Each structure stands twice: as structure tokens, then as C-alpha cells.
Copies of this chain bind each other. A is one copy, B any other.
């Protein structure tokens, strides 16, 4: 019989799992930045900057606002991961498109993990839940906005995909479950699933947020 509790009694397994997801998520985020850069004919340096911007941009803004040292300055893993992503894009450029479902999966895992990580860090700094939700969303989403600004594009999450909303609903779920006194392990797994499922359903069924009304009719 499958027993999720088993995992939670093995903290070293959870820790490793989290690190694997963080690596996959960072990798997928960096790949996204580098591919967009390639589409605009950026050079290797521009590609790396766009990759790193997606991978660490959101968390960096969060940490600056929280008043702590940006997370990527405490471990070189994010830089290394982006270098891997850069090499991967350069070597396997012709195969990237075929792997689109893989990137989507990794990216979604990353969004879910970064949302939770951003929330937990904010709560650990003593801020209330509504700020944690904003920071969780920012951790997952702001990097993509920076990428689009650097590429001189209109940020895609502002007019096309449901992306930030998955993070926000996940954040609210976290708040509700915490308020109900539910065990934190159960909460984290639930929030993680909620973010992934919403993101998946939105893309699968082409669900998007309503547009703002225009004035000129």
C-alpha cells in the first residue's frame, strides 16, 4: 500500500527530492530564458544573462525586499545549473522543440517548488501570510518578467497564460491549511499538487484569465 507518510519520516529523502526538483526547476527556467534569447539572435553572453535572469530573478527581488543576501550568492549551484542549460541549448538546439513537454513539466515543478520555497522563506523572516503569498508568486514568476523586459517583449504572463494564478491559488491553499492546523508536510504536498494541477489544466484546456475591458467602444 502506498503511504506518503513514509517519505516524511525520512527527512534525508525529502531533502534530496527537494534538491532534485530545485535543480530541474532551475534548469527548466534557465532553458526558457536561453531559448527566448536565441529566438532574438542574442549571443552566448546575452543567452546566459537571460537564462540566469529567469532562474534567479524572482528569488533575488524577493530576498532584496526581505532584506537578506540573495540566495544565489550563498551557493554556486544556480550558476552551474545555468551553465549546464546554456551548453545544453547550444549542443542540442535541434532537439529542444521535441522536448517541449519535458520543459513544461520541469517548469511546472519549478513553479510549484519556488512558490513554496518563497513562502517559507518569507514566513521564516517573520512576515504575515499575505506577504508570503506575494513573495511566493514573485519567486516563481518575476524571473520570466525580467526575461521578457530584457528581450524587449511584452511580459507573456500579463496577457496570455495562467501562470501566476497557479502560484497564488497555491499560496492561498497554504494559508488556509496552515490556519486549519494541518500538518506542514501534508500542506506542502497539497500546495505543490495544487500549483501543478492548475498550471496543467490551464494549458491543457486553454484556460486564461479575462482580459481587462477596453475603454474605446
Contacts and interface: CB of A to CB of B under 8 A. Distances in A.
Contacts of A37: 158, 212
A67 interface: yes
A35 B160 CA distance: 18
Contact of A46 (B50, B67, B155): B155
Given A40-B159, A46-B157, A34 B150 contact: no
A74 to B, nearest CB: 9
B65 A65 contact: no
Interface residues of A, number: 56
A42 B73 contact: no
A117 interface: no
Contacts of A157: 45-46
Interface string A28-66: 000000110111111111110110000000001000110
Interface stretch (A16-24, A91-99, A104-112, A191-199): A91-99
Interface string A155-199: 101111000110000000000000000000000000000000000
